[in-house]
Chain A
Amino acid sequence: MLKNLRERMSPTDIVMWSIGGLLMLLIVWGSASTIIKGTYSARHWVDFVIFGLAQGSIYALIAMGYTMVYGVLRMINFAHSEVFMSGPYTAYFFAAYFYRSGLLDSHPVISLVLVFIVSMATSTLIAVLLERIAYRPLRGAPRLVPLITAIGASFFLQYVFRGLYGSGFQAYPVVTALEGHFALGPIRVLKFQALVIVAAGLLMVALYQFTQRTRLGKALRSVSEDKEASALMGIDVDRMISMTFMIGGAAAGAAGVLYAIMFKQVHFFMGFIPGIKAFTAAVLGGIGNIPGAMLGGIFLGLVESVGPSLFLDGLGIVAPYQLKDAIAFTMLVLVLIFRPSGILGERLAVTKA
């Protein structure tokens, strides 16, 4: 038994497991001492969790785009963060108009739906154009080529939108109907956070059902499984890839409006950080795997929101909230060490890219 174990563990494995073990120990120790110290009451923790859920469901929606594109094309679509930015930034002008004309207060549902539609349409358009112009000619190129193209497209889109709409922060109008909170038993939930969680949840369920139940969704999955075989089965691969970008774009557009509602501002650079986080979420969940992206997003959101107070406060670290991104990325490294294919495992036909 012991000999068997020694054969299976190489020295690097031992180093990796000890790094991981050390970090785990720190986490457990930190959490324990935070809880014993009792700086935060149960109310605080609930607030943290709800904020984390809201943030995480936004990450999850963006992560869908990354993971679906990765599943089909095996490329990191770096420009997806700009697809995410383009929607709410364009929709901002509609939202601001609705606000000025009072429609946002008198008919909040209609105007929000319109804002969502504009945002999703813009993001979808940008995503499809991106695929058509920048990525389609590169099918079959070595892996780094589309990656650099995506980085270039990301810069280009950022600065195009900066040129079009200006470089300042635009304050998203406050929706009065979403102010305040309501009580779910003893738990009080901010209304806009509830909207974010519910809307993102509905969208994700719809998307998942679409890929699992419809003929189109089946074709989509088949293309991500094996392009040649799908083409032989009469599936239009190019159209399916376009479709992937459309769905990813629409999800990102919706996520963008939710993000704008939550943080109340838009900016041409707003996509960068959520983009990286969402990609991290996709990897966490197991890239190419749609439920994995959802789970990864929510997990990441929760870790970011609960983590700093839970793990670091107990260790006596100053200003733990500054380290939330470090926690998120450490979590990523940990997951990759202990489970290199992500939480749910990747669903790729070929394991070697």
Chain B
Amino acid sequence: MTATPTQRLPGFRMGVIGGVCLVLLSLIGMVYAFNQREIVSGVISMGQTLLVFTSAFIAYMAVKRTPSRSAGPVLAAGVTAGLVMAALLALLILLGKTVNLRQVFINASPALFNLLLFHQELGTGLGLLLLAGALIGALTGLLYLMPSLWRRALVTGFCSLAVVGMLQDLIAPIIGAWGPFAVLSDWLFSGNGLSLGGGMGLFIAAAGATAIWSTNRQAVGHRIQRMQPGPKRNLKLTAILVAAVLLLILPHALGLFLSEVLTIVGLYVLLGLGLNIVVGFAGLLDLGYVAFFAIGSYTVAILTSPELGFFSLTFWQALPFAIIFGIIAGVMLGIPVLKMRGDYLAIATLGFGEIIRILVLSDALRPWLGGAQGIGKITKAQIGEFEFASPQEVYYLLLAGCILVGFISWRLRDSRLGRAWMAMREDEDVAQAMGINLVATKLMAFATGAGFSALSGAIFASKIGSVYPHSFNVMISINILCVIIVGGMGSMPGVVVGAFALVGLPELLREFAEYRLLVYGAALVAMMLLKPEGLWPEATHVRELHDSAETQGPPAAGAPAVPPG
């Protein structure tokens, strides 16, 4: 057997891949942009953290691929990977110092190279860079050799440092606002990042908690399982009560900005629950879902806004119309696409969504729909004297909507109709042979989904107070689809989790808006490669995916062939 370069120099290949990643991260400007913020004040910046985490991750992958678990080869692989990565960065620096890369790569600035050189002279800086690479590689190797309990604790510690440091702008004011905790906030944060003491405290707390939890998790699980039915029910009730109270006070505890984020997440949860019926339950790939959202919004806008002056209903009077129009539009779209399958359906619905947006945007329909300027002065929802105006108040409107829609789709899922949807999703022909009326079932799915979407459109219109055609482009449909797939197709808690992960998290990192979608895209790809069933999947879906992996996947490379018998 001939030795491939990978075997002779373990970690080399991963090192090259990692190096390319690091160079890319630097060239697209992420490293420099993130450097404006510190994770631990005066010790490590966010840009450096990005480099360290990426290189450590790649080095870990390299280390994991070494065949033996003894210290020598593992450390060698780690150090090689680290050195190769550092060397590629060094090459970038040398290239940047000799040629003006900036004519093409706008982010290849001297400031970036300075940062990569640890603000030292070229020679010392390069030496430090290589040293840092080797060190990270070696430490990763050590991490791999550790018992898994230690490893998990350390990784959690570092990750929580990074997360808290990254979200400090949000966390500090929240903790600071609660009188007694203000001291904690002062101790934890200083200047532009975590304080040294606070960082260490946080690290120890997170690592310790992980260690304790992972040693005791099974015991706790057993205790809950062995509980009597009575106390068990009480525990469940208490948990539900606590969750309900938390949901009710959430906006006031979180402050204005986070409440705004929550309302956006809430909108996506509503939309996601609706699309979940169409795509998740019935298996109809709808990429024009935003059209119904637009129809809901525009119906409320036209019916309530004094700007156009046709009608001046209240929000509650306009809401039923919005939902009814949404449902009608759902059926209208449904009829022409009844016979299309999978991808034709996707593109036809996408076309439908675009047609709606273009019509709304056009000058031809301007007197009725406001054209590019949209419609303003939409009335807020009101109950008696109470007006749902600020994000903290709109939150309750959305919460009510989510609970209603969640309840309906939960009941629908287990109903005769729900089972028909799922049968249709699995196999249309068989479902039809079993006596399911495909036309009615499909149209019901489109109509229900569209109604939910129109409801959330109506809330959106009254929340923003104005509607513009630009709020309803294809990207919204695509985002909602991503939310339900990442959450776990067909799973309702998954929709909530997906909305928080894909809509909430990016909103929190508005500061780095330029890189938001980049990370979003990379996360989507990574998610689909590593955990395609979603964050909170339905049980059947997991089984399906894993079955197909077992039956269709090629035999693992390098696995010894087992002779039959």
Query: Which residue of chain B has its CB nearest to the CB of A328?
Result: B351
User: For this complex, into which size category does the number of interface residues on chain B fall?
Assistant: 35 or more
Q: How far is the CA of A44 from the CA of B515 in the complex (A)?
A: 45
Residues of chain B within 8 A of A353, CB atoms compared: 341-343
Known contacts A12-B439, A276-B350, A283-B347; A155 and B521 CB within 8 A of each other: yes
Contact at B355–A326, with CB atoms within 8 Å? yes
CB distance from A191 to the nearest CB of B (A): 29
A325 to B353, CA, bound (A): 11
> Which of B53-61, B104-112, B158-166 forms contacts with chain A?
B104-112
Of the residues B364, B474, B478, B527, contact of A322 by C-beta under 8 Å: B364
Q: Interface 1/0s, chain B 523-534, versus A by CB < 8 A?
A: 111011100100
Min CB–CB distance A114 → chain B (angstroms)? 16
Determine the residue in chain B with the shortest Cβ distance to A332: B351
Taking CB atoms and an 8 Å cut-off, the chain A residues in 201-238 that contact chain B are none
Q: Say yes or no for B481: interface residue by CB 8 A criterion.
A: yes
Contact indicator A323/B362 (Cβ below 8 Å)? yes
Contact A287 B343 (CB under 8 A): yes
Q: Does the CB pair A148–B524 fall under 8 Å?
A: yes
| A337 CB within 8 Å of chain B | yes
Pick out which of these stretches binds chain B: A115-123, A137-145, A182-190, A251-259.
A137-145
Given contacts A148-B485, A323-B362, whether A156 and B342 have CB atoms under 8 Å apart is no
Task: Identify which of residues 139-196 in chain A touch chain B, using a CB-to-CB cut-off of 8 Å.
Answer: 140-149, 151-160, 162-167
Q: Does B122 contact A (CB under 8 A)?
A: no
* Inter-subunit contact B515/A163 (CB<8 Å): yes
Interface contact A336-B521, CB-CB below 8 Å: no
Give complex CA distance A242, B525 in Å.
19
| B489-537 residues at the A interface, CB under 8 angstroms | 489, 514-515, 517-518, 520-525, 527-529, 532
Number of interface residues of A (CB under 8 A): 60
- For residue B24, CB closer than 8 A to chain A, the reply is yes
User: Residues of B contacting A16 with CB < 8 Å?
Assistant: 335-336, 338
B82 within 8 A of A: no
Question: What's the Cα separation between A158 and B338 when bound, in Å?
Answer: 34
Which of chain A's residues has its CB closest to B106's CB? A166
Partner of B28, one of A141, A163, A320, A323: A163
Asked whether, in the complex, the Cβ of B338 is within 8 Å of the Cβ of A140, the reply is no
> Within the complex, what minimum Cβ distance (angstroms) separates B432 from chain A?
13
- In Å, the complex CA distance between A340 and B339 comes to 8
A-B contact pairs, 21 of them (CB 8 A): A76-B343, A134-B525, A140-B552, A145-B532, A148-B482, A152-B522, A155-B518, A155-B521, A159-B28, A159-B518, A163-B107, A164-B105, A164-B106, A165-B104, A287-B344, A318-B364, A318-B366, A319-B363, A319-B364, A333-B355, A340-B344
Question: Which B residues form the contact surface with A (CB < 8 A)?
Answer: 24, 27-30, 103-107, 279, 285, 335-344, 346-348, 350-352, 354-355, 358-359, 361-364, 366, 429, 439, 474, 478, 481-482, 485-486, 489, 514-515, 517-518, 520-525, 527-529, 532, 544-545, 548-549, 552-553
A residues whose Cβ falls under 8 Å from a Cβ of B: 10, 12, 15-16, 19, 70, 74, 76, 93, 134, 137-138, 140-149, 151-160, 162-167, 276, 279-280, 283, 287, 317-320, 322-323, 325-326, 329-330, 332-333, 336-337, 340, 352-353
